[in-house]
Chains A and B, each alone.
Chain A
Amino acid sequence: MTTKRRTFLRVSGAATVAASTGMASILASGRAPVYAQAKTVHWLKWVDFVPATDQMFRRELMPEAEKALGIKMNLETVNGNDLQPRITAGIQSGAGADLIMSFNSFTHLYANSVVDLSDIAEEVGKREGGHYAYAKAICSDGKAYMGMPWAVIGGMIAYRKSWFAEVGVTKFPETWEEYREAGKKLKAKGRPLGQTLGHTFGDAPGFTYPYLWSWGGKEVEADGKTVVINSKATVDSVKFMQGFWKDAHDEGGLAWDDTNNNRAFLSQTISATLNGASIYIESLRRADQYKTEKGEHLNKDILHAPLPKGPAGQFGFHLLQSNMLMKYSKNQDAAKAFLKWLHTEANYEKFFLSQKGFATPTTAKWEAHKLWNEDPVMTPYKVAARLGQAIGHSGPPNAKAQEVLSKYIITDMYAKAVQGMAAEEAVKWAEAELKKVYV
C-alpha cells in the first residue's frame, strides 16, 4: 500500500505538482521559487468523467510534453461546478492558471480576459476538415477565438432496448408524441423516463434548450435583443411538457443533479434518460455489477439515440469544452506551445481513445475514426458535435445568453409549469426574466 502511494506521488509529483522544485522544498518554502529555470504551465481542467483520461494525462502525456517542450506542467483538476469561482478569482486578481478549461459560453463571458487563439484554431481546423459550426459559434465571436475548441460531451438518450421492446417499441421514437406514448406505457409498468429539471449545468439545459428549439421556441431574435420567448410555439411546448411529465417521467427528477439520473438508470428504476455516455461506460467498466432482471449484463441492453424531433426540427445542446489562454498569464508562449502540441493528431488521439467515445472531437475528420466502429452502441455520439446548437438561439451565444443559462431561466420555466403553474404564466415569467437580461 505504501509503495503504491509513493509511486503515485512520485509520478504525479514529477508531472504535475512540483513546479520545478519537488514536494520537499515546496513544503519548506511554502511556494515555488521564481528563479525556476523551466517555465511552468498551469492547466486547470475539470475532473474528467472518465477517470482513465486524467490518469493518462498525469502518467503519460504531461511527462511527454515536459520532455518535448522543455517546460514544466502543472495539471490541476477540479469539479466542473467549481471552475467558475477559480476563473473569476484568477481574472480579478490577475494571477492563476495559464490555461483554463471553459464550458460552453464561458468563452464569451470571459472574452475580455483571454488571448486570441485564432492561429492554432485555424491551423487545426484546416488540417482536420474544419471545426463544426457549433464549436465556432461558441469559441469565436467572428473575430477572435476566445478558446481553443477541445471536445463535445455529447448528450444522447440512453435507453433500455428490452424494456422499450416490451411495450412494443422496437425503434426509438422519432417524435415527441411517440416518445410520450412509449413513456406512458413504460411508466405504467413502473419504468418511467428520467429527466432532471433542476439547477445543474449538464443534463437540465441539455434537455430543455433543444426541447424548446424543436418546438420552434427561441429566447431572442438574431439581433440578440428582442425577446421572443412568449410565442405560441413556446406555450405549446410548455403545455405538452406538463402532460409529458405527468404521463411519462419520474417525478423525482425535479431536483436531480447531473449524477442522479446515472444512478437511477444503473439501478434500473428508469427506462431512458438524457445523458453523456457515462452510464454506458460505467456499465462496461463494472460489467458484473450491473445485471438486468433477467440476469444478463446491463451493458448489452443499453442503446443511445438523439432527442426526438419536434414541429420545428431536431436539435441537441451539448457541453462544449474549450481551453482558454488567460491574458494575465506570464507564460503565454509556453502555454500556446503546449496547446499546439496537445492538438497535434498523435497526442489528441491519445486523449480521444482514452475517452472511448465519451468526448466527441470538434473537427469533422474524427468522424471517420475507427473508434466509432468498434462499438455500435457508441456510434450515435459520432455526430453529437455536428447536431449541436449554441445557447441564446437565435441570438449569439454571448454573455447575455450565458446569463440566461446560469440563471436557469429556460429550465425553471418548465420546472414551474410541471409543478402546476399555468403554461402561459410560466412563459410570461420567463419573458419577464429574459427582458431583464436582454436590456
Chain B
Amino acid sequence: MVALATSSAGGKRPAPRARLLEDERWLAFALLVPTAILLGLFIAYPFVKGVILSLTSARVGVEGEFVGLKNFVKIWNDGIFHVTVWNTFWYTGVTTVFKLALGLWLALLLNRHFRGKAFIRAFILLPFIIPTVLSTFAWKWMFDPTFSVINWTLYQLGFITQRINWLGDPDLAMTSIIIINVWRGVPFFAISLLAGLQTISPELNEAAAIDGARPWQRFWHVTWPLLLPVTMVVVLFSVIQTFADFQLVYVMTGGGPANATHLFATYAYQLGIGTGLLAEGAAISLAMFPFLFLIVVVQLLYIRRVEVR
C-alpha cells in the first residue's frame, strides 16, 4: 500500500509504442522475449543438437552417421548402466528423505526466538554457499583412509578399534557421498522451510494448544498441512539437482570403487569425454531425461492437487 501512495504512476500519457503494450498479449510477448532468446539459444538449440548426436555413431572428431536408437539399445544392455540407474535412484531417494527430515527439524528449531538468531541462520547456510568442488575436497580430506579425522574422533571416543574404510568399501563409498550431499542440502531445505513456517500464523497453533492438542499433534494437524506446498517445491528442485549431480562424485570417487558410485552424469562423462564416445555419452545423459521428467510430472501434479485443496 505504501508503494501505491508513493508511486508517480498517474499523469503521463502513454506513447504509441507503449499503447501496444497495453494489449496483454503484446506485453506478455515483450516480457517473454529475453527469456525465450536466452533459453532458445543456449538450451533448446544445443539440446536438439545433443539429441541428434545421440542418434548417430559420432566419436570425438568423427561425425558418424545416423544409427537410430542403437546407442540406446546398447546402454539398455549395459551392466554398468544398470548399476548407474540403481545408484542414481538410491542416491536421490536417500538424500532427499534425509535432507527433508533434517531440514524440517532444523527449520522448526530456527523458527524459535533465541539470541544470535540472525547470526546462526546466516552461518548455517555456509555449506550451501561454498563451491561444491572445494567443499568436496575438504570432505575428501576428512574421509581419507589414512588421515581421516572422523576415524580419529571415533577411535578416541572408543567407538571403533579398526579404521573405517570410508571410500574404499562400495557401500561406505555410497554412504559417504550421501553424507556430503545431505550436509550440502540441509541448509537450503532448512531456510526454505523456515520461510514456509513463518507464513503460518502463530494463532493457529495457539488455538490448537488451547484445544489441548499435544505439540506433536499440533505439528501434524496444523503446521504440516500448511507447510506441504512449500515442501513440495523445495523437494522438487532438490530432486532435480541431486538426480543430475556431477561435481561431488567426480571429485570424490570418479565413480569408483568398481562403479559403486557412478551416477548418470558421471557415467555419461566417462563415456563421452573419457572414451570419446560422444554419441553414447549423449544417449546416457538423455536417458536421464525421461526418468527425471516422470518424477517431476508426478510431483507437479501432486503440488497442484495440494494447492487446489
Is there a contact between chains A and B in the complex with CB atoms less than 8 Å apart?
Answer: yes
Residues of A whose CB lies within 8 Å of any CB of B are 84-85, 87-88, 91-92, 109-113, 197-200, 250-257, 260, 263-264, 267, 269, 399, 402-403, 406-408, 412, 415-416, 419, 429, 432-433, 436
Which residues of the partner chain B approach A253 to less than 8 Å between Cβ atoms?
145, 168
Closest to A84 in B: B273
Asked if B275 contacts A403 (CB within 8 A), the reply is yes
Closest to B259 in A: A412
Closest to A269 in B: B146
Asked if A112 contacts B144 (CB within 8 A), the reply is no
Task: Judge if B2 is at the interface, Cβ distance under 8 Å.
Answer: no
Residues of B whose CB lies within 8 Å of any CB of A are 59-62, 74, 78-80, 144-147, 163, 165, 167-170, 173, 253-259, 269-278
Asked if A109 contacts B254 (CB within 8 A), the reply is no
Q: Please tell me which one of the listed residues A111, A260, A263, A407 contacts residue B275 in the complex, with CB atoms under 8 A apart.
A: A407
Asked if A399 contacts B146 (CB within 8 A), the reply is no
In whole angstroms, what is the CA distance A97 to B273 when docked?
A: 17
In whole angstroms, what is the CA distance A257 to B257 when docked?
A: 10
**Given A112-B62, A260-B146, A267-B146, CB of A419 within 8 Å of CB of B170:** yes
In whole angstroms, what is the CA distance A399 to B274 when docked?
A: 11
Asked if B163 contacts A110 (CB within 8 A), the reply is no
Asked if B277 contacts A254 (CB within 8 A), the reply is no
Q: Please tell me which one of the listed residues A84, A85, A112, A419 contacts residue B257 in the complex, with CB atoms under 8 A apart.
A: A419
- What are 19 A-B pairs at a CB distance below 8 A? A85-B269, A88-B60, A109-B276, A113-B61, A199-B254, A200-B256, A251-B168, A252-B146, A252-B163, A255-B173, A260-B146, A263-B144, A402-B276, A407-B80, A407-B270, A412-B258, A415-B256, A415-B257, A416-B258
Distance in Å: Cβ of B79 to nearest Cβ of chain A? 7
In whole angstroms, what is the CA distance A419 to B173 when docked?
A: 13
Which residues of the partner chain B approach A415 to less than 8 Å between Cβ atoms?
256-258
Q: Please tell me which one of the listed residues B62, B253, B278 contacts residue A255 in the complex, with CB atoms under 8 A apart.
A: B253
Which residues of the partner chain A approach B272 to less than 8 Å between Cβ atoms?
88
Asked if A408 contacts B79 (CB within 8 A), the reply is no
In whole angstroms, what is the CA distance A153 to B277 when docked?
A: 27
Asked if B254 contacts A200 (CB within 8 A), the reply is yes
Asked if B170 contacts A109 (CB within 8 A), the reply is no
Closest to B74 in A: A436
In whole angstroms, what is the CA distance A198 to B167 when docked?
A: 10
Asked if A91 contacts B257 (CB within 8 A), the reply is no
Asked if A433 contacts B79 (CB within 8 A), the reply is yes
Asked if A252 contacts B60 (CB within 8 A), the reply is no
Asked if B256 contacts A198 (CB within 8 A), the reply is yes
**Given A110-B60, A260-B146, A403-B277, CB of A255 within 8 Å of CB of B259:** no
Which residues of the partner chain A approach B278 to less than 8 Å between Cβ atoms?
88, 92
Asked if A255 contacts B275 (CB within 8 A), the reply is no
Distance in Å: Cβ of B172 to nearest Cβ of chain A? 9
Asked if A399 contacts B59 (CB within 8 A), the reply is yes
Asked if B169 contacts A257 (CB within 8 A), the reply is no
**Given A113-B60, A263-B144, A403-B277, CB of A433 within 8 Å of CB of B80:** yes
Asked if B273 contacts A88 (CB within 8 A), the reply is yes
Asked if A402 contacts B254 (CB within 8 A), the reply is no
Which residues of the partner chain A approach B255 to less than 8 Å between Cβ atoms?
199
**Given A92-B60, A252-B165, A399-B59, CB of A199 within 8 Å of CB of B147:** no
Which residues of the partner chain B approach A111 to less than 8 Å between Cβ atoms?
61
In whole angstroms, what is the CA distance A251 to B86 when docked?
A: 26
Which residues of the partner chain B approach A112 to less than 8 Å between Cβ atoms?
61-62
Distance in Å: Cβ of B163 to nearest Cβ of chain A? 7
Asked if B270 contacts A264 (CB within 8 A), the reply is no
Asked if B257 contacts A263 (CB within 8 A), the reply is no
In whole angstroms, what is the CA distance A429 to B145 when docked?
A: 28
Asked if B276 contacts A88 (CB within 8 A), the reply is yes
Which residues of the partner chain B approach A84 to less than 8 Å between Cβ atoms?
273-274
In whole angstroms, what is the CA distance A199 to B256 when docked?
A: 5
Asked if B145 contacts A252 (CB within 8 A), the reply is yes
Which residues of the partner chain B approach A432 to less than 8 Å between Cβ atoms?
79
In whole angstroms, what is the CA distance A125 to B255 when docked?
A: 40
Asked if A91 contacts B61 (CB within 8 A), the reply is yes
In whole angstroms, what is the CA distance A255 to B170 when docked?
A: 9
**Given A113-B61, A263-B147, A407-B80, CB of A254 within 8 Å of CB of B275:** no
Distance in Å: Cβ of B41 to nearest Cβ of chain A? 15
Closest to B62 in A: A112
Which residues of the partner chain B approach A436 to less than 8 Å between Cβ atoms?
74, 78
Asked if B257 contacts A198 (CB within 8 A), the reply is yes
In whole angstroms, what is the CA distance A85 to B169 when docked?
A: 28
Distance in Å: Cβ of B201 to nearest Cβ of chain A? 51
In whole angstroms, what is the CA distance A200 to B254 when docked?
A: 8
In whole angstroms, what is the CA distance A256 to B259 when docked?
A: 14
In whole angstroms, what is the CA distance A432 to B82 when docked?
A: 14
In whole angstroms, what is the CA distance A416 to B83 when docked?
A: 14
Which residues of the partner chain B approach A200 to less than 8 Å between Cβ atoms?
254, 256
Asked if A255 contacts B147 (CB within 8 A), the reply is no
Which residues of the partner chain A approach B256 to less than 8 Å between Cβ atoms?
198-200, 254-255, 408, 412, 415
**Given A91-B61, A257-B254, CB of A252 within 8 Å of CB of B147:** no
In whole angstroms, what is the CA distance A307 to B20 when docked?
A: 79
In whole angstroms, what is the CA distance A41 to B135 when docked?
A: 35
In whole angstroms, what is the CA distance A369 to B92 when docked?
A: 56
Which residues of the partner chain B approach A412 to less than 8 Å between Cβ atoms?
256-259
In whole angstroms, what is the CA distance A111 to B78 when docked?
A: 27
Asked if A406 contacts B270 (CB within 8 A), the reply is yes
Which residues of the partner chain B approach A92 to less than 8 Å between Cβ atoms?
60-61, 278
Which residues of the partner chain B approach A260 to less than 8 Å between Cβ atoms?
144-146
Which residues of the partner chain A approach B60 to less than 8 Å between Cβ atoms?
87-88, 91-92, 109-110, 113
